[in-house]
Structure 1
């Protein structure tokens, strides 16, 4: 989890009138009917990882990693656990990339207790989404996507997952905020939830009251590593497009310049190039360390995340027109965008 610690002090004064039921306010008398409807499509995901594999970056939900438990010809291995949900009767399952991305072996546990091996169909690091497939030999229950654009702050949600590898569990709450950016990547645009979400819930769904998935639970911000009622989900309207592409193609081709970037210390608009990969697209185009990118295709670039997002959103092979400030000289430069390598850390 992030090194920084967050302390929140609240003071609440409630007027008696606020406690009275208001016209049109429909508080669920029970979530049990909804739980019964969606539970068969929730799965637990157990993975075996080679020791030393990349760990999820904060503030992703920590995976429940045990100490190395066994040794094979390839060395020690770790165990980890997460969550997922079935989206087709044929056994296609949505989860987080940080749950399965480094897995040497994946086992999915269905709601009825059956355990089945799974294989990765596709994964996207930038949105932290992944698709795995199981073969159950029968049609499986599944859930459908909802429309996250229709969800408002204050709407009820039901979150599901496999916290602490204990098995399928449900928690309820509301949407606390929309469009949250938590410094997790260029595509930060999370739904913030106050339903308790804990380690192991990664990849699980959040439902609206109609039983439709409106978010994929992905991250928490917490000083302790456990739930403090601040969870984050990838909105369904973003997730469903990424998942459809992963099912069809196995990956999302992302644009890449081959540079390291930093915001300007002064807070001024533009992004400084702090490093250039010698064989990358930026080097071939003539960019140099210290250059400041002011705009891409006439659209201003205000910070490093905006630059990463702009480049990663275009197909490799596209020609992008940059506006550059080099030691006070402003000029234009065109670059042919390359394909982003699997590892993150440069743009």
Structure 2
């Protein structure tokens, strides 16, 4: 018993020596230094739940939107006829034209109704002698142009199919958000049913194409042949019609642009209801924020549209908007720059009332404005400002057709155009400023064009421009 007790004491003593040696020679103590500091130290922590798939693109499912879209996007083939050069000495000496050559252009389109209405770009179908549409199931149909609008680059086609067709519903493009995922569906390089993905990079983008347009910018890959195709969100709603790319090579380099669906829908509705496009005008011109005057007066730093002038007799004038006002909001749409304003107003018609929030003398004021049909416009190519004739002017010039020239750019001042009435361009009658806009767009920069005018004595003049 005594021997067992001795062994136990030796064991306890040896254990104590071992533990003490470890504490002394091997274990290093950790010290936490607490200091008094008046500034609290903070750490940014993200409490967003994570997914084993990873955040972002892996959690977005494009398959349903793509599946619903590809069957509603079509291939559009445009055949135009161009005259070739003389093919014989007889043609050369007697001025007879050579044989006509067929040229084929291609693009895309979007079916918007089960009975075969298709929206595409105006430039896809321009000058067509024949249009053919190919569905995703490879069926071909001849297409008819119902109407088009060169200003917004939107056209409406119709095909007669045996069965009801798959189609896309217009979404609300005003609700699209920067950073939102979108799909571009079309037929680039004559390939059918191609789907690319990207995000909305910007809204209300102006490409300075002379159309006061307001585009949705995306980084979804768009190439030649995609024009007229669909831009859809992840729900499969049509939020835009793909129209243009920004590229020095003609192929995609990271920027593509689409006509917002709200604008496209309004154009389609106008064509179906009225046969042409009705546009409601506010009646203001904006100060160019990049001008020297704007820079010197601090206007270039203004968020909103700075009103430079107000057109007499239009909605803004009657509502009391004056030069110097800053338009900050129209209805529920915030206005940061001019394309925000023109883009929203492009969805409106004459007679529509909008609520315009302006800033005047540092205070906000809300004014109801009734949009009106514009009485004058600046025609493309020549830049003449023309207006519809009043009844008094019709009697003065003894004509029931034509538009009056009210302003002339400097380069045409010597032709005596101001104050006269243009009644024909290349033999085609002009009745309204819309007719003038359409016919002036057709003027060739390389050929001869004739303009027929009337002076105040009712005498006709014919000018040839080359």
Q: TM-score, normalised by structure 2?
A: 0.50
What is the distance in 1 between the residues matched to 2:50 and 2:208?
A: 38
Measure how far apart 1:216 and its partner are.
0.6
Measure how far apart 1:235 and its partner are.
0.8
Q: 2:310 aligns with which of 295, 303, 325?
A: 295
Give the total of aligned pairs.
267
CA 1:154–1:305 in 2, change beyond 3 Å: closer, same or farther? Answer: closer
Are the aligned partners of 1:123 and 1:250 in contact in 2 as well (CA < 8 Å)? no
Are the aligned partners of 2:270 and 2:276 in contact in 1 as well (CA < 8 Å)? yes
Instruction: Map 1:1-347 to 2 at 5 A.
Output: 27=57, 28-51=59-82, 75-253=100-278, 294-297=309-312, 298=317, 300=323, 314-315=372-373, 338-339=433-434, 340-344=436-440
Are the aligned partners of 1:47 and 1:100 in contact in 2 as well (CA < 8 Å)? yes
What is the distance in 2 between the residues matched to 1:255 and 1:208?
A: 29
Stretches (4+) displaced over 6 A: 20-24, 308-313
Determine which structure has the larger helix proportion and give its number: 2
Question: Which sits farther off after the overlay, 32-41 or 20-29?
Answer: 20-29
Larger RCO, structure (CA 8 Å, separation 6 or more): 1
Measure how far apart 1:73 and its partner are.
8.9
What is the distance in 2 between the residues matched to 1:42 and 1:120?
A: 17
What is the distance in 1 between the residues matched to 2:177 and 2:150?
A: 27
Are the aligned partners of 2:247 and 2:253 in contact in 1 as well (CA < 8 Å)? yes
Measure how far apart 1:32 and its partner are.
2.3
Q: Deviations over 1:80-115 (max 9, x none)?
A: 000001000100000000001211100000010001
What is the distance in 2 between the residues matched to 1:196 and 1:88?
A: 26
Are the aligned partners of 1:316 and 1:338 in contact in 2 as well (CA < 8 Å)? no
Measure how far apart 1:165 and its partner are.
1.3
What is the distance in 2 between the residues matched to 1:51 and 1:87?
A: 32
Measure how far apart 1:77 and its partner are.
2.2
Structure 1, unmatched stretches of 5+, are 1-16, 53-71, 257-262, 270-292, 325-336
Greater radius of gyration (CA): 2
Are the aligned partners of 1:198 and 1:227 in contact in 2 as well (CA < 8 Å)? yes
Secondary structure, counterpart of 2:269 in structure 1: helix
What is the distance in 1 between the residues matched to 2:209 and 2:196?
A: 24
Measure how far apart 1:230 and its partner are.
0.2
Measure how far apart 1:317 and its partner are.
5.4
Q: TM-score, normalised by structure 1?
A: 0.66
Question: Which sits farther off after the overlay, 160-169 or 179-188?
Answer: 179-188
